[in-house]
Structure 1
Amino acid sequence: MIRSYTDHAANERTFLAWLRTGIAVIAFGFLIEKFDLFVDTMAAAVSAEGVRPQALEHMTTPFGWGAGHAFIVVGIIFILVATFRFVRTGWMLDDQKIHSPGIVADLSLSVTLALLLIVVSVLLFFHA
């Protein structure tokens, strides 16, 4: 029988939740980047037939590339931090000493993601 099985199971559930969050952030980054590529392709196809429409040209900016890559990088960082936390917490659960909980990684990643979302939202609001 595994000692502290419920604690290890909770650690694994938390790890999987972090992984899902990281994968979702990466997928959102791909979505932003691919939508910008789609709009750029549509604008090029329409401009081949005649005049390039202002609405499509207005929507294609380097912002989509930068924002998409920023979300992808933040998602990868989420996964790396989740892996580190999972292993570290597993070792601490098996250790007999009392450890203080660390919230620096959680707080810093949450603030980073919130700031990234705020910047993207503000840029989209003023860009539209």
Structure 2
Amino acid sequence: LASRIAVMRDGRIEQLGTPEEIYNEPATLYVAGFVGAPSMNMLQATVTGDKLAIAESAVRISLPVRYANAAREGAQMVVGIRPEALRVATGAATDLSLPVEIEVVELTGPELVTTARIGTQRLTACLP
């Protein structure tokens, strides 16, 4: 692999960095959606106190500490979650739980690719 790569859009560099930096810390929504398969889930949300309210649902998740000081009440945000970062929860719900409605489950060999819905928004999970 290259030590540094550039993600370009319309002849402009969107992000320059190591493959790990680009995958784990995308600089723009374009980069976040471009890198990875399936692509990153991007959920619309609104800052409500110290929580993020996922649009068109009753779901509230904790606002990450590193954004808490910069986020203002009512601000619109996009929550990016990689499909492989999601897991099926067992037990009691936590601040990071996302109650979803499962729509499709597809066995792709070593994993299950699951499409689910939160309100009107869809997300994909790659489960072992």
Q: Higher helix proportion, which one?
A: 1
Alignment TM-score, normalising by the size of structure 2: 0.23
**CA radius of gyration, larger in:** 1
Question: Under a length normalisation based on structure 1, what TM-score does the superposition of the two structures give?
Answer: 0.23
Q: Could you say which structure has the greater relative contact order, defined with CA pairs below 8 angstroms and 6 or more residues apart? A: 1
